[in-house]
Amino acid sequence: MIDTIKRAAELQERGDPFVFATVVRVDRPVSARVGDRAIVYPDGHLDGWIGGSCSEPIVVREALAALADRNARLVRIRPPGSPTARDEPGVVTEVTACASEGGLDIFVDPQLPGPHLAIVGSSVAARTLAKLARDIGYRVTAVLDGPAEKLPGANATVSPADLGRLNLGVDDAVAVATMNRYDEVAVEAALVSGASYVGLIASRPRADKVIDLLRARGIPDEKLKRIRNPAGLDLGPSNQDEIALAVLAEVVQARHAAEVATQEHLCEPEATAPAEAIDPICGMTVAVHAGAIAASIDGQPFYFCSPGCRDVYVARRASTAT
């Protein structure tokens, strides 16, 4: 269990999506205990213990669905013959085909990466911005030009050359605060990073020079217009710490605006739940994913809840063929 929690913390630190599944109730006899946990990855792989083959295919199916719709759910797994419970929001009840008489309740909680803020430079404003952003749930990547430069509190550190390859998206932002050291390189990379917000913390005259240099390099004006300068909401005369606060407020404001625009104009397709199939032996609905238990017969794929069901089906088809 400790290893599972450590692994979950590592995934959260890296910003990787996963699902945390926790056993919250057991009806004996079952092999799981309250508090047992597992991680389900987007490819359907399960790491941990939540009751073995009777519960795993159900939990994987619901975990992948939770990643798609971003909603947690309580999964109730009951033995054959159990009374049918009425439908409740956020609750999924599944009758398992296993012979066990026990039951399980498992809470399936998708863990999706929070917004990402790349901070270029290690100035006072950059350091304060990193701390404030971490405090409100942003993943922070430091973008620095040498090993001697540090940005405390960052989740990761990359070079300016790697900034454009961070694969940032509509929820993400770049704030450039190098104190004129490598603004041009950083802003140019930020404009191709995919971030919806690009802010340059610099004086107006300095920002104008940066924009002129980038224009001379062939960057079109429609891209240069995306640069926010002065970066941050207008708080009046401000010190470096207050500038950092103003920038973070503008980053959050821009993220919410981008999310609304995405929903209104369908700029980004909604995630879809994985395909499902019916186990031809036990009748259980299972998710179709890379690691699913499957067999191909006469060129047609079949999916199963367990190796046992697969082996029975393959043997039946083989005996029929002979």
What is the percent of the chain with per-residue pLDDT over 70, rounded to a whole number? 92
Domain that holds residue 283: 276-321
Q: Determine the residue type at 5.
A: I
What pLDDT does 268 receive? 46
Identify whether residues 146 and 252 lie together within a single domain. yes
Rg (CA), the chain: 26
- Tokens 């238990």, located at residue: 293
Q: Does residue 129 lie in a domain region?
A: yes
For 43-100, write each residue's pLDDT tens digit.
999 999 998 778 899 999 999 999 998 899 999 998 877 766 666 888 998 887 666 6
Mean predicted confidence (pLDDT) in 31-47:
93
How much is the average pLDDT of 253-261?
Answer: 84
pTM: 0.67
Indicate if 132 and 260 belong to the same structural domain: yes
Domain closes at, from 51, 81, 111 = 111
Amino acid at 6: K
Per the DSSP assignment, residues forming a β-bridge with 301 are 296
Give the Cα separation of 59 and 76 in Å (integer).
10
The domain total for the chain is 3
* pLDDT tens sequence across 299-321: 899 999 888 899 999 999 888 87
Alpha carbon 96 to its chain's center: 30
**Which domain CATH number covers 182?**
3.40.50.720
Contacts of the segment 313-320: beta carbons below 8 A, 24+ positions apart:
313/280, 313/281
Does residue 36 lie within any of the structural domains?
yes
pLDDT in tens, 184-233: 999 999 999 999 999 999 999 999 999 999 999 999 999 999 999 989 99
What is residue 44's three-state secondary structure? coil
Q: What percent of the chain has pLDDT over 90?
A: 62
Euclidean distance between CA atoms 171 and 253, whole angstroms: 11
Per-residue confidence (pLDDT) for residue 139, from 0 to 100: 92
With 0-12 / 13-18 / 19 or more C-beta atoms within 10 angstroms meaning exposed / middle / buried, residue 82 is middle
Residue 271 placed within a domain: no
* The predicted structure's pLDDT at residue 258: 80
